[in-house]
């Protein structure tokens, strides 16, 4: 199945404010730092680096960082934010790009949700080829079990902020197919300068979401062992209470 994709080109310049609250947002850098220290990680490849939310902060902490993304405007922003930092960036696809051998690979902020299950398996196999023996793969994704218990059926505001002299408000009205694990996200972004007539941008795309059991089965099938399922604060995952699953897996073959 081909998933309908989000157009990152049009929102690349406001992505950090729109999606990440102006910083690394829900992705807690210190959680990654603690994991990497625990497993003695020195080199990290971010295979869906976007605007560099993780690459920049991890480089500041002393990790040797490489970033890759399939969207050029987002990569340009990451490069701009990384001036003065020793970070290598590449344009590439998580499913087939090769950059060397790393201690750990990350793909954060629901990045794997843009892949169908078949393509995610391709990505897992390619990630293995970019990892050293017993290397780590760390990623997060929306939690299907939580969604089943807490899905919002009505239209709601999920972001509102000001940027320079413009105001932004984003509405969501989503649908979900629980059997297939497909989340259809429907958004309207209102942008208003002063009291001028607002510009309205509408966007719709799909995301593949998973239960921890499905994730574990896919990883095991493709040569990885799950070390832990966490929430985004680094605590043990509670499937009924945590929106996202942070998976820490180790390459075994």
Could you tell me the residue ranges of all domains in the chain?
Answer: 9-142+210-251, 146-207
Phi, psi of 228, rounded to the nearest 5 degrees: -165, 150
Do 146-207 and 9-142+210-251 fall under one CATH topology?
no
**pLDDT mean across residues, the chain:** 93
- Residue 226's Cβ-side half-sphere holds a number of Cα atoms within 13 Å equal to 19
pTM: 0.94
- Give the CA diameter of the chain: 59
CATH 3.40.50.150 fits 9-142+210-251, yes or no: yes
Q: Which CATH class is domain 146-207?
A: mainly beta
Residue-level pLDDT at 5: 87
Q: Do 144 and 176 form a contact (C-beta atoms < 8 A)?
A: no
Q: In this structure, what token pair is assigned to residue 215?
A: 């994730």
Taking the mean position of all CA atoms in its chain, how far away is CA 155?
Answer: 24
- Residue 210's Cβ-side half-sphere holds a number of Cα atoms within 13 Å equal to 24
Q: 91-132 pLDDT, tens per residue? A: 999 999 999 999 999 999 999 999 999 999 999 999 999 999
Q: Do 140 and 113 form a contact (C-beta atoms < 8 A)?
A: no
Residue-level pLDDT at 1: 63
Which stretches of the chain drop beneath a pLDDT of 50? none
């Amino acid at each position: 199945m081909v998933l309908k994709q989000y157009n990152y080109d049009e929102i690349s310049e406001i992505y950090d404010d729109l999606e990440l609250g102006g910083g690394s947002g829900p992705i807690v850098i210190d959680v990654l730092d603690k994991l990497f220290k625990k497993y003695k990680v020195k080199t990290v490849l971010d295979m869906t680096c976007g605007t560099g939310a993780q690459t920049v902060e991890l480089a500041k902490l002393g990790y040797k960082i490489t970033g890759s993304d399939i969207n050029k405007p987002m990569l340009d922003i990451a490069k701009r934010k990384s001036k003065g930092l020793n970070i290598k960036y590449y344009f590439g696809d998580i499913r087939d790009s090769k950059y060397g051998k790393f201690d750990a690979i990350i793909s954060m902020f629901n990045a794997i949700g843009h892949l169908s299950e078949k393509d995610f398996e391709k990505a897992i196999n390619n990630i293995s080829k970019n990892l050293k023996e017993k290397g780590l793969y760390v990623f997060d994704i929306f939690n299907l079990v939580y969604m089943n218990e807490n899905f919002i059926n009505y239209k709601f505001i999920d972001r509102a902020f000001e940027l320079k002299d413009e105001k932004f408000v984003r509405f969501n009205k989503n649908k979900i197919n629980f059997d297939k694990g497909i989340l259809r996200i429907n958004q309207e972004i209102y942008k208003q300068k002063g009291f001028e007539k607002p510009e309205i941008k509408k966007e719709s795309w799909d995301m593949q979401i998973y239960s921890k059991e499905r994730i574990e089965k896919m990883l095991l099938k493709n040569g990885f062992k799950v070390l832990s399922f966490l929430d985004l604060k680094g605590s043990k995952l509670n499937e009924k209470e945590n929106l996202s699953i942070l998976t820490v897996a180790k390459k075994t073959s």
